[in-house]
Structure 1
Amino acid sequence: MRIPRPVVRSLVTVTALGAVLSGCRGHAGTAAGTDNPDAVLRVVTTTEILADLVRQVGGERVQVDSVVPPGGDPHSYEPTPADATAVSKADVTFTNHLLLEEHALIKTVDANARKGTPNVSLAEASETYGAHVIPLVEDIGLDVLWLGLRVRGEGESRGATRSSDVLLSATDVRGPGDLVAYLTESLGRPEIYFNSADGLSAEDTTSLPPAAHTHLNWAFTKPGVYEVSLAAKLRNADGTTQPVGTGTFTFAVGVDPHTVAGPGDTVLDNGHTDLTVNIDSGRMSAFTDLRTEGKAQEEIPPGDVVIDVPNRTLERIPAQKRFAFLGKPGAEVYQLPQAVLGKHVHGEIDPHLWQDVRNTKSYVQLIRDTLRKEDPDGADRYTSNSRRYEQRLDELDTYVRRQVGAIPSGRRQLITTHDAFGYLADAYGMTVAGFVVPNPAQEPSADDVGKLSRTIGNLKVPAVFMEPNLVQRATVLNQVAEDQHVKVCTLYGDAFDDDVRHYTDMMRHNADALRSCLGGAQK
C-alpha cells in the first residue's frame, strides 16, 4: 500500500503563478525590508544575507526585499503568489543559485522577473570578480555504498535553462522482490520516488534541476539480483519535454556481487555513486568516486556495473504508519541509506561562498556594477558605498582569521547540523568533520549515537555547532553533546535571526563562537 503522492513532486509553474499575479498586491509576504519612499530602484533578493549586501551598496537609493523570511531556510523555502508579485515589480533581482535556493524559488524568479531587468546569479557570476569556488565533496564514510541520483550537463543545445527540470522515472524493475526508493525528510516524513510494489507508472517519477544531485534510500524486499531501468526527460520552462537518456542498472541484493558481475564489470560497494543522466550527451551512467578516493568521479556505463546491497544493510521496518509502504512492521528490508538526514538537493559546487569574507567582496562589487548600470545617476554613490563597505570587509576578514588562528590546530574541527561551512574551513584553516545518521528512516540507534560519540571523542572536540534556523534537525547532535559533556554552540550559515541582522555581525559572531567554544587562547 502506498502513501499518496503527486505524480511528479510539484514545482511552482509559470502558468500557476501567472494566473494569480493580477490578484496580488504588495511586497513579498516574507520581505524583511522597510519601505523607502526615496528609493530609485526596487530590488528583490532571494535571501536576507543578499538583501543586506544590496542595502550596504545601495543605501537610500534602493528599496530591498528578501523573499525568504527571517530565519527561513533557502534550501527548502516554497514561494508564494505574493513572492511572484514582488519579483514582477522589481527593477533588479539577485539570487545566489548554484542550487542554494529551492528550485521552485528559482523558477518563480525566472518566470516573473520583468523582461529586460537584470536577474543576477551572484555565486555564478562572482568568479569573474575573483571569487573562489570549491567543489562540494561529501565524504560520509559509510561502510556500504552511498547511492543517489544526479543530473549532469547544462543542456543548452536542448533549450535548457536553470528553470528547467529533468524528470527521472523508474520504468521497469525485474527481480525477486520489490524496490522502493524514497527520501526521508528532516522530520522523518518519507517521500517516495519509485515503488514497484503495485506496478510502475507515471507516478514513479521525481524531478531535479540541471546539474543537481539528491540523496535517497534504496530498499529491496527480498534477496537476489535486480535490474532497474530508468528513463529521463528534460522539461523546459515552456512545459515541453524531450527524452534525454535511458539505462538499466544491476543490483546484487544479499548475494555475492562478484558472482553476478561479468568480465570487466565494476562492483560498486563503497564510496559515493549517483545514477546519472548527462543531458548534454544523452547518456546514463554510474557516476562514482569508488576508484578515485573521493578526489574525482568517473562515469561507468550502466551495463558495466553491479551495485552491491550486502546483508549488513538489513533493517527492520519501523512500526510507525508512515513507513507502511515498505511492508509489515518488523519485517526486514535490504536498504542502502541516504546517509544525510533530510532533503538535500545540491550541485557540484558549494554555494555558500559568503562564508569566506573575500568572496563576499566579489558579491559586493558585482552588486555595485549592476546597480550602477541600472541607475547611472547614482553611480558615484554606489561606488563610494561599495568602497567603504569593502574596507569593512577587509577588516572583518582579518578579524575572522585572527580569531580562528587563536584556536589550537588540533581543535579546529567543525561538527555541525548542515554542510554550509566548507568555505569558512577552507579560507581560515579548519576541517569540517560533520556527522552521519546511517539510516534516517528510523530513529538513530544506540550504535548510530555511539559512532558520533566516538567521532567527537577521537577528535577531542570541546563543542559542536548548530544553526539557529535548523534546530529541529539537531536532536542527535544535542543528545551526543550532552552524553559527551561538550558544549552546543551557534553558527550562522544561510540565515539571520532576531539577534543577528547583518552579514558583518553574523561573521563576527561565527568567529567569536569558534574561538570561544573550541578553546582559543584568551583575548
Structure 2
Amino acid sequence: MKARQVSSFKRFWLTLLFLTMAALAAACAPSRPAADASGPIKVTATIGMISDIVKQVGGEHVEVTGLMKSGVDPHLYKASQGDVKKLEQAQIIFYNGLHLEGKMVEIFEKMAAEKPTVAVSKTIPESELRGWEDGEAAHDPHIWFNVKHWMSATEVVRDELSKADPEHADAYRSSAEAYLKQLQELDTYAMEQIASIPEQQRVLVTAHDAFGYFGDRYHIKVMGLQGISTASEYGSKDVSDLREFLVSQQIKAVFVESSVPKKSIEAVIEGAKKQGHEVKIGGELFSDAMGKEGTAEGTYIGMVRHNVDTIVNALK
C-alpha cells in the first residue's frame, strides 16, 4: 500500500473515532429542559412567597409548582423524593437563598448543573443584608419583610423568565411592571400604618427573629425568643431575658407565628404573669409561610397587609 493511501486510511479512522467519542459525550451530558412552545413553562419554587411572584409575573405562560405549603417552616424542611421529582421536571427552579432552605443546598447545586436554578435574593447588595445573629458570614434570609427587597426578587423572576422564554418576554415585563406598582403601594401602606403606633409602644415581640428586615424598614423595634433560624434552640435564659424585658418595659402584647409552635412564646407570657404583668397574644403573624391558598393571606401582598394590620391593632 502506498504511503499516501496509508495516510488517508489513518485519517479516515481517526475521524470516525473522533465522531464516535463526540456522540458518546453528547449522550452522557446532562440534558437541559427547554421551554415547551406548546405549553406554559414549568417552574418549581420553594416557599409560597416566591411561588406567588412567579404567578403574578408569569400569568398564563407559567405552570408553578410550590414545594412548601401554608404553615411549613423552611428552616427545618427536608425535600422528599416527590419534591426531588418536581425539581427534576421543572424547566426553572426559584429559591430564596441565604441559607433559608438550609437542608436543600446540595440539591440546588446538583440541579444548577442541569437547568436554571436561581436564588431570588441574588441581586440584593450585601450591604443591605442583615447579619446572622452569631456573627458568621451568613445573612438573615427573611428578605420578604422589606417590601423593597421583594421588589428586587420580583425583578429577578421577571428577568429569568424572559431569558428562558423570550417569546413571552414582553408579557413578563408588563405583568412585572403592574405587580411592582402594587408592591410600591404596599411599602407605603406599611410605612404609614406602623408610623401611626406611638413610638414608645412600637415594639414587636415574636417567637423567632424573622422580622428584622421589617423592623429596619418600618422603624419598629423587633425582639424574638429564638434566633433567626428556628433550627436554633432557645433555653431558660432566653425565656427569662424576654420575660424581664416585657415586665420592665410594660409590653402589653406579643405575637405568635403560623409556622412556629406557640408553646415557646406561651412560656414567656406565663413567666410575666407570675410577676404580676399581664401580656396578651396580639394575634397570629405569617412569618416563614403565607396563609392557605385561596385566602387573602395566601398571597404575598395579603400576608403583609394582614401582618401590618394585626400589629397596629394590637399595639396602637
TM-score range relative to shorter protein = 0.7 to 0.9
Matches of 1:44 and 1:434 in 2, distance apart?
Answer: 31
In the other structure, the counterpart of 2:3 is none
Task: Give 1:332-343 correspondences, 5 Å limit.
Answer: none
- Deviation digits for residues 404-429 of structure 1 (CA, Å, limit 9, x no counterpart): 00011111112111111110000000
In the other structure, the counterpart of 1:509 is 306
- Residue 431 of structure 1: how far off its partner (Å): 1.4
Matches of 1:126 and 1:365 in 2, distance apart?
Answer: 9
Partner secondary structure for residue 77 of structure 1: coil
In the other structure, the counterpart of 1:11 is none
Matches of 1:442 and 1:362 in 2, distance apart?
Answer: 33
Matches of 1:482 and 1:60 in 2, distance apart?
Answer: 53
Q: Give the counterpart letter for 2:105 in structure 1.
A: I
Partner secondary structure for residue 65 of structure 2: strand
2:146 to 343, 351, 356: 356
Matches of 1:119 and 1:470 in 2, distance apart?
Answer: 28
In the other structure, the counterpart of 1:402 is 192
In the other structure, the counterpart of 1:118 is 116
Q: Which 10-residue stretch deviates more, 471-480 or 61-70?
A: 471-480
- Residue 436 of structure 1: how far off its partner (Å): 6.7
- The 3 A distance-change label for structure 1 pair 475 and 365 is same
Matches of 1:408 and 1:102 in 2, distance apart?
Answer: 38
Q: Give the counterpart letter for 1:392 in structure 2.
A: Q
TM-score, structure 1 as length reference: 0.48
Task: Give 1:425-444 correspondences, 5 Å limit.
Answer: 425-435=215-225, 444=236
Structure 2 residue ranges without an equivalent (≥5): 1-37
Q: Give the counterpart letter for 2:289 in structure 1.
A: A
Residues 417 and 477 in structure 1, CA contact (< 8 A), matched pair in contact too: no
- The 3 A distance-change label for structure 1 pair 448 and 112 is closer
Task: Give 1:72-471 correspondences, 5 Å limit.
Answer: 72-103=72-103, 105-112=104-111, 115=114, 117-123=115-121, 125-127=122-124, 133-136=128-131, 138=133, 348-435=138-225, 444=236, 450-471=240-261
Residues 464 and 481 in structure 1, CA contact (< 8 A), matched pair in contact too: no
- The reply to whether residue 497 of structure 1 matches residue 303 of structure 2 is no
Residues 43 and 92 in structure 1, CA contact (< 8 A), matched pair in contact too: yes
- The 3 A distance-change label for structure 1 pair 387 and 470 is same
- The 3 A distance-change label for structure 1 pair 449 and 98 is closer
- Residue 476 of structure 1: how far off its partner (Å): 1.7
Residues 97 and 120 in structure 2, CA contact (< 8 A), matched pair in contact too: yes
Q: Which 10-residue stretch deviates more, 426-435 or 106-115?
A: 106-115
Residues 243 and 269 in structure 2, CA contact (< 8 A), matched pair in contact too: no
- Deviation digits for residues 189-220 of structure 1 (CA, Å, limit 9, x no counterpart): xxxxxxxxxxxxxxxxxxxxxxxxxxxxxxxx
Matches of 2:75 and 2:49 in 1, distance apart?
Answer: 14
Partner secondary structure for residue 179 of structure 2: helix
Q: Which 10-residue stretch deviates more, 471-480 or 87-96?
A: 471-480
Q: Give the counterpart letter for 1:44 in structure 2.
A: T
Q: Give the counterpart letter for 1:471 in structure 2.
A: P
- Deviation digits for residues 474-518 of structure 1 (CA, Å, limit 9, x no counterpart): 342443466532221222111013352000001001111111111
- The 3 A distance-change label for structure 1 pair 132 and 482 is farther
- Residue 39 of structure 1: how far off its partner (Å): 4.5
Structure possessing the higher radius of gyration over alpha carbons: 2
CA RMSD of aligned residues (A): 2.6
- The 3 A distance-change label for structure 1 pair 86 and 113 is farther
- The 3 A distance-change label for structure 1 pair 58 and 407 is same
Pairs aligned (count): 268
Partner secondary structure for residue 100 of structure 2: coil
Q: Give the counterpart letter for 2:124 in structure 1.
A: E
- The 3 A distance-change label for structure 1 pair 405 and 418 is same
Matches of 2:89 and 2:100 in 1, distance apart?
Answer: 23
Matches of 1:448 and 1:49 in 2, distance apart?
Answer: 30
Matches of 1:99 and 1:507 in 2, distance apart?
Answer: 22
Matches of 2:42 and 2:128 in 1, distance apart?
Answer: 29
Q: Which structure has more strand as a fraction of its residues? A: 1
- Residue 372 of structure 1: how far off its partner (Å): 0.5
1:485 to 272, 275, 278: 278
In the other structure, the counterpart of 2:50 is 50
TM-score, structure 2 as length reference: 0.77
- The 3 A distance-change label for structure 1 pair 481 and 359 is farther
- The 3 A distance-change label for structure 1 pair 369 and 434 is same
Residues 133 and 349 in structure 1, CA contact (< 8 A), matched pair in contact too: no
Matches of 2:128 and 2:234 in 1, distance apart?
Answer: 35
Matches of 2:205 and 2:138 in 1, distance apart?
Answer: 21
Q: Which structure has more helix as a fraction of its residues? A: 2
Matches of 1:492 and 1:432 in 2, distance apart?
Answer: 15
Q: Give the counterpart letter for 2:309 in structure 1.
A: D
Q: Give the counterpart letter for 2:146 in structure 1.
A: D
- The 3 A distance-change label for structure 1 pair 113 and 481 is farther
- Residue 132 of structure 1: how far off its partner (Å): 6.5
